[in-house]
Amino acid sequence: MALRIAITAEPVPSHVSALDYVIGPALEQGHRVALHAPPMFRLEARRRGVEFHRAGSDWTCDPAVQQEASEIWKEYGNASFNRHVFGRLWPDQAERKARDLIAAWTRTRPDLVIAECSDLGAHLAARVLHLPLLAADNGLGPLLLELWDTDVVPALAPLHDRYGQDVPVLPPMLTPAPLPWFHAAPPPSAHAVRRTVASFRTAEPDRRGRASSSSRPLVYVSLGTLTTAMAGLRSVVGGAYREITAALSDIGCEAIVSAGRLAEDLHSADPRITVVEHAPQPALLHRADLFVTHGGRASLLDAVQGATPLLGMGVLADQPGNTAAFTRRGLGRALELTATRDEIAEAMTAVLGDPRHAAAMNTARTTLSRLPPLDIAQLYDHAQAPVRLG
């Protein structure tokens, strides 16, 4: 039976890509998929061949919002940043998103809603309309669980009261990775499913970053899309990119550095180092020897699928915790974002020179590939009577 599936996303540049493990299987299984998301994702919906319906705003692109969040991160640290963003800003935006979705889903009622785990307005709208609801973990699931009772529920409670709803609870959650990789205490209703990536993101890039005859290792560097888009973080992240490129030159490897909006200001006289604004990351990580990453969940899983050891330099939100967890599993090393070129060069050399990291990545890739495929019809049956998180 073909179902009408409503998928929702919040305005963070990488978040639709993070939902490909839901979008792709839903389309392949013959369901009608509609993406309900802010305007910034209209092109992403077209690329994936799904309907697009505007819901919510591109509020994360507001310079004032970015500046305030950046200043909190720089002055008070990542824990305060997380409480500000996920305990205040996200709940503050939930009402507008809920209104848009209630209107859309009243006109055309979906059979199943699969909302980002951080899309609090979508969770509310589905409950108001008594729609089967699942959450798709975009990487923020563990962080939301950590802040749920102390920060998120108190901020959301007045809005839920206005709509006649009970105390907010997270819906049952899908996640595209083994639960222990990111959850210290996995929620009982979470369900791990196989990860897929949109086909256009796996196209092989040009090979200018590495001559086919080169015996030097290839290092791929990306500190994420959000960190380079936030004006208040650019100076800090730009400094990290400069230390990384200097270290790359010191160790004499080939490198592709994907630096987003910082690319035009990031230059290297070393011909072995190519700086670009964007790169086809999943494809590159199938031939890179080392990945220097900010530690976003999607990037880490790209590394696992490419069996590429990593050097994690977590920036914000879940990223420092993610890189620490992967380091404990032997999948690479971690450094502070403020590490010097000498520290970075030493860590790169250590990871490249230790075959145990590559072996651990190969084992992780096998584990990831053995997760069960996502079955939309089965999920629909289960979602008729969702189990609440304990």
Contact yes or no for 291/220 (Cβ under 8 A): yes
Check residue 36 and report its DSSP letter: E
The whole-number pLDDT of residue 96 equals 95
**Which residues touch 328 (CB under 8 Å, ≥6 apart)?**
none
Of 174-178, 220-224, 234-238, least confident by mean pLDDT is 234-238
The DSSP symbol for 149 reads: I
Domain 202-369 has CATH 3.30.1490.190: no
Total count of residues recorded for the chain: 390
Closest CA to 132 of 4, 313, 277, 291: 4
Alpha carbons 142 and 268: distance in angstroms, whole number? 38
Where along the chain do the CATH 3.40.50.2000 domains lie? 4-195+372-383, 202-369
**DSSP structure string for 255-295:** EEEE-GGGGGG---S-TTEEEES---HHHHTTT-SEEEE--
**DSSP, residue by residue, 47-115:** HHT-EEEE-S--GGG-HHHHHHHHHHHHHH-HHHHHHHIIIIIHHHHHHHHHHHHHHHHHHS--SEEEE
Instruction: Please give the structure tokens belonging to residue 105.
Output: 């889903």
Burial of 96 (0-12, 13-18, 19+ CB in 10 A): middle
**CB burial string 116-133: b at 16+ within 10 A, e below:** bbbbbbbbbbbbbeebbb
In the predicted structure, residue 209 carries a pLDDT above the cut 70: no
Q: How far, in Å, CA of 98 to CA of 148, rounded?
A: 19
Q: What is the pLDDT of residue 261?
A: 86
Digit-coded pLDDT (tens) for 18-57: 999 999 999 999 999 999 999 999 999 999 999 999 999 9
Mean pLDDT of 314-342: 94
Q: For 4-195+372-383, CATH number?
A: 3.40.50.2000
Q: Which residues contact 224 (CB under 8 A, 6 or more apart)?
A: 14, 260, 293, 294, 296, 299, 315, 319
Candidate from 210-214, 291-295, 365-369, 375-379 with smallest mean pLDDT: 210-214
Question: Average pLDDT in the 74-94 region?
Answer: 94
Angle at 134 between CA 130 and CA 136, to 5 degrees: 145
Q: Check whether 208 has a pLDDT greater than 60.
A: no
312: pLDDT strictly greater than 50 = yes
One-letter identity of residue 143: L
- Please state, in angstroms and rounded to a whole number, the distance separating the CA atoms of residues 138 and 140: 6
Query: For the segment 132-189, what is each residue's pLDDT rounded down to a tens digit?
Result: 999 999 999 999 999 999 999 999 999 999 999 999 999 999 999 999 999 888 788 8
Calculate the average pLDDT of the chain. 91
